[in-house]
Amino acid sequence: MSNVPALEIKNLVKRYGEKVAVDNISLTIPKGSFFGLLGPNGAGKSTTIHSITGITQPTSGQILIDGVDVVKDYKLARTKVGLSPQEFNVDIFATPEQLMDYMGGYYGIPHDQRWEKINELIARFDLEKHRKVKFQKLSGGLKRRALLGRALIHTPDLLILDEPTAGVDVEQRHDLWAYLKEMNEGGKTIILTSHYLEEIQYLCNDIAIINHGRIIAHGTKDEFMKEGKSVEQTYLEIIKSEKPA
């Protein structure tokens, strides 16, 4: 594994008119990391993720995925990252296998290779019975699994999961956690945002907290759990200390 970080963000700023959504963030995530990005609603998590994946245009700063600039060399950079978004950004009339097929096609994966991967992902996420069911007819958990399959179709180096277990029942969530751990142990770098802090505590080895568009804490899971605290306790302490008295 090379020393080039999986993701390097340098002085990222994103403004929407007068509003500063991301305020001069710098962050380095090494390869193989399972990175938790925490923060309240509207803190800047999704804007940061969208800047990495090309959905948002940064106002200033630089983002490198595996050393590749996401603005200057955007086509190559896009092949290195997969996104499972918070919102269901899909054609609701498409089936899980169609979603993966189209996305795999967009990434330029040849037919046979693409269908081999689709069948592997359908089996891995237990979607066999639902592979030809329209997205709109799927349960919340099945929708999340279909999106995860779509994000993995091109075998990205960096996987970004924005609230991947929202609406997923406990059993399926644990199954998903096992798969994510397995992928991370296989060397894949994963960035996870979640409001379930036990999920972050269970899965992540590095954690950052973002609030008002700024990184206000960054460290290892052990640092977040010192003195016998849970990640959730530390998170709440840090967020509360940010609020004006």
Binding site for another protein (CB under 8 A): 16, 47, 50, 53-57, 74-76, 78-79, 81, 83, 85, 87, 89-93, 101-103, 105-110
Provide the minimum distance between the beta carbon of 135 and another protein in the complex, in angstroms, as a whole number.
10
Determine the number of helices (DSSP H) and then strands (DSSP E) in the chain. 9, 10
Provide the minimum distance between the beta carbon of 207 and another protein in the complex, in angstroms, as a whole number.
25
Provide the minimum distance between the beta carbon of 56 and another protein in the complex, in angstroms, as a whole number.
5
Q: Whose Cβ is closer to another protein: residue 76's or residue 236's?
A: 76
Q: Which DSSP string corresponds to 59-118? A: SEEEEEETTEETTTTHHHHHHTEEEE-SS--S-TTS-HHHHHHHHHHHTT--HHHHHHHH
Provide the minimum distance between the beta carbon of 21 and another protein in the complex, in angstroms, as a whole number.
9
Angle formed by the axes of helices 170-185 and 140-152, nearest 10°: 10
Provide the minimum distance between the beta carbon of 108 and another protein in the complex, in angstroms, as a whole number.
4
Radius of gyration of the chain (CA): 18
Provide the minimum distance between the beta carbon of 210 and another protein in the complex, in angstroms, as a whole number.
17
74: Cβ–Cβ under 8 A, 6 or more apart, which residues?
54
Q: Residue 18 carries which DSSP code?
A: T
Q: Whose Cβ is closer to another protein: residue 147's or residue 197's?
A: 147
Tokens 């007819």 appear where?
Answer: 137
Cα distance between the two ends of the chain: 47
Q: Whose Cβ is closer to another protein: residue 91's or residue 182's?
A: 91
Q: Whose Cβ is closer to another protein: residue 50's or residue 173's?
A: 50
As a whole number of angstroms, the distance between CA 224 and CA 220 comes to: 6
**Chain CA centroid to CA 39, Å:** 14
As a whole number of angstroms, the distance between CA 69 and CA 62 comes to: 7
Provide the minimum distance between the beta carbon of 37 and another protein in the complex, in angstroms, as a whole number.
18
Q: Which tokens in the block code for residue 144?
A: 């999340």
Question: Which pairing describes strands 158-162 and 81-84: parallel, antiparallel, or unpaired?
Answer: parallel
